[in-house]
């Protein structure tokens, strides 16, 4: 019973962490110098947000996010 409760707790905790907001500073080098943008969102949304940055800056890239 105890291991079942522990497993359920871990599943709930991982679900909460997935929905937490994270912020990254992303940068790209352009003809005019380096451009930095802050990207914030849930873990599952970050990749789409970075893809959106890349489509707004066609010809430059890749965006590096840390």
Domain ranges of the chain: 21-66
**CA nearest 53: which of 39, 40, 41, 66?**
39
Whole-prediction pTM: 0.59
| Highest mean pLDDT of the ranges 2-6, 24-28, 41-45, 47-51 | 24-28
pLDDT digits (tens, 9 = 90+) for 1-35: 666 666 656 555 555 555 678 888 999 998 889 99
- pLDDT at position 58 over 60: yes
Burial class of residue 59, CB neighbours in 10 A (0-12, 13-18, 19+): exposed
């Amino acid at each position: 019973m105890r291991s079942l409760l522990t497993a359920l707790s871990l599943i709930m905790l991982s679900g909460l962490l997935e929905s937490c907001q994270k912020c990254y500073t992303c940068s790209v080098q352009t003809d005019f110098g380096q451009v930095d943008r802050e990207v914030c969102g849930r873990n599952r949304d970050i990749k789409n947000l970075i893809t959106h940055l890349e489509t707004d800056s066609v010809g430059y890239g890749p965006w590096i996010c840390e």
